[in-house]
Amino acid sequence: MLARRIIPCLDVRDGRVVKGVQFRNHEDVGGIVDLALRYAAEGADELVFYDITASVDDRTVSPDWVSKVSRSIDIPFCVAGGIKTVEAAGTRLASGADKISINSPALARPELINELCDAYGRQCVVVGIDTFEENGTYRVKSHTGDPDKTRETGRQTLDWAAEAAERGAGEIVLNCMNQDGIRKGYDIKQLSTVRKVCPVPLIASGGAGATEHFEDVFKHANVDGALAASVFHKSVIAIPDLKADLKSRGIEIRL
Amino acid sequence: MSLVIVDTGVANLSSVKFAFDRLGVEAVISDKVETITKAQRVILPGVGAAPYAMKSINAKGLTPALRNLTQPVMGICLGMQLIFETLEEGGSPVKGLGLVPGTVKALNTKKLPSPHMGWNTLTKKSDDPLLEGINDNDYAYFVHSFAAPVTNITLATSEYGEDFSAIVRHKNVYGCQFHPERSSRVGAKILENFLKVPA
């Protein structure tokens, strides 16, 4: 059976892994390759690296550290950050990334999703969506790496998730911004709603603080994977313990 | 051990090379017929779309040489699909390399999300040196929308909506639908076994 995936997310800034609360106040949590090796050894199913300031600074994620990570680990990983063209994506894939994730550039030019799918296949195209709940509606934000540059997109989350999959995204990562970094649990309601309109694998992001939160999101939102950052970086939850606990609670998990 | 990773013109060459580096074997990435033909082991990698990949292989003039290889050959993911006779992908069927018999079809995932992405369990169908040390319910990392049906060349199956071939072998030619280079201990073991299978 297909296992549910536990995915540590490493936010990268200036070549280091950092973590903020609700996308603000970043602190240094370690080196890229060191953390990648640690999480792979602990049983992470996949890693995601977000170069969080790439889009806002108008840069593109560096292929050098992509290659270093690929050389070091034997689990899949995805890279994101300012990838705006087929060529830029191709360079990262050639450096050893398994998937590339796009967010702000896809909102600016949705055809990019089609182009990436045509060039490399939908299996390596991930679309990240930063979604914010206000008065019961879910809306998409862009350029969330810097709070001062964050923009409203005018898009509804459900519409954008469906459109991204239709255009050729092979996976959707839903970052629920209200929950980010506060460890009160995933947004089960929103994730369940998106799950219904999303025909491709769906990854939950934002809010993990305890083993029960992972259990809830797999059992009640039926997501394929759960992404988390601060609970892993700060050793609030140890991945081997988390995976053993989830397995004992009847969830399909790779041990 | 001389090992060549065929440069098919589609991405994902370096991650396979790095996996062999971790095993202490330096692989050469090449699209030269002479280099490929002389290697003791040949890896056919690949990600992306089959029509595009076959066009690229044909344009490089590699097809006749790949068809005549007698040393152990392993196709990985899309590379595994390309070793079959026919690939039902895109508007009209694509002619594959035809190193192993059969047709690759769209995986019927029923109501499950597609593509099939993540860690799934293997079930062994027959013994082979390639599967040394691999057990039922070991996990491998898959990411694909097309697959080869289960036939008499299937060494191991996996299931997602339906059963399909996770590993095949026909004579000197092996195929892994999953990514051994990204399948942790299980994948490393399979790559190590491939280096040891009798030529």
Note the pLDDT tens digit of each residue in B78-123.
999 999 999 998 778 999 999 999 999 999 999 999 999 999 999 9
Catalytic residue among A130, A180, A187, A224: A130
Contacts of B113 in chain A (CB under 8 A): 198-202, 224
Instruction: Give me A80's structure tokens.
Output: 């994101």
Instruction: Pinpoint the alpha helices (H) of B61-197.
Output: 63-67, 78-82, 184-196
Place A50 in a pLDDT band, splitting at 50, 70 and 90: confident
**Could you please report the per-residue DSSP string of B30-78?**
E--HHHHHH-SEEEE---S-HHHHHHHHHHTT-HHHHHT--S-EEEETH
CB-nearest to B145 from A75, A120, A123 is A123
Q: Are the C-beta atoms of residues A95 and A67 closer than 8 Å to each other?
A: yes
Domains of chain B, with CATH numbers? 3-196 (3.40.50.880)
Instruction: Give the mean model confidence (pLDDT) for residues A168-172.
Output: 98
Residue A56, pLDDT score: 58
Q: Is the pLDDT of residue A239 over 90?
A: yes
Note the pLDDT tens digit of each residue in B7-65.
988 756 889 999 999 999 999 999 999 999 999 999 999 777 788 889 999 999 999 99
- Give the C-alpha separation, A128 to B65, whole Å: 42
Residue A63, pLDDT score: 75
CB-based contact (8 Å) between B189 and chain A?
Answer: no
Q: Is the pLDDT of residue A59 over 70?
A: no
Q: Nearest CA of chain B to the CA of A185: how many Å? A: 23
Are the Cβ atoms of A121 and B187 closer than 8 angstroms?
A: no
Assess whether B144 carries a catalytic annotation: no
The complex's ipTM works out to 0.94
Q: Are the C-beta atoms of residues B96 and B81 closer than 8 Å to each other?
A: yes
Contacts of A224 in chain B (CB under 8 A): 113, 117-118
Q: Is the pLDDT of residue A42 over 70?
A: yes
Instruction: Give me B121's structure tokens.
Output: 């369990």
Q: Is the pLDDT of residue B190 over 60?
A: yes
Residue B111, pLDDT score: 94
Assess whether B116 carries a catalytic annotation: no
Residue B49, pLDDT score: 79
Burial of A149 (0-12, 13-18, 19+ CB in 10 A): middle
- Give the C-alpha separation, B137 to A1, whole Å: 8
Are the Cβ atoms of A75 and B141 closer than 8 angstroms?
A: yes
Contacts of B13 in chain A (CB under 8 A): 94
Are the Cβ atoms of B113 and A201 closer than 8 angstroms?
A: yes
- For the entire predicted model, the pTM comes to 0.94
Q: Is the pLDDT of residue A57 over 70?
A: no
Assess whether A11 carries a catalytic annotation: yes
- Give the C-alpha separation, A109 to A118, whole Å: 15
Note the pLDDT tens digit of each residue in A119-133.
888 999 999 999 999
Q: Is the pLDDT of residue A52 over 90?
A: no
Contacts of B112 in chain A (CB under 8 A): 2
